[in-house]
Amino acid sequence: QVQLVESGGGLVQAGGSLRLSCAASGSTGSILAMGWYRQAPGQQRELVALITRGGSTNYADSAKGRFTISRDNAKNTVYLQMNSLKPEDIAVYYCYANGNYRAYWGQGTQVTVSS
First to last CA, the chain: 40
pLDDT, tens digit (0-9, with 9 covering 90-100), for 28-45: 888 999 999 999 999 999
* C-alpha pair distances (Å), 72 with each of 17, 23, 51: 20, 10, 11
Express as a percent the part of the chain with pLDDT over 70: 100
pLDDT in tens, 6-25: 999 999 999 999 999 999 99
Look over the chain and give the mean of its residue pLDDT values, rounded to a whole number: 96
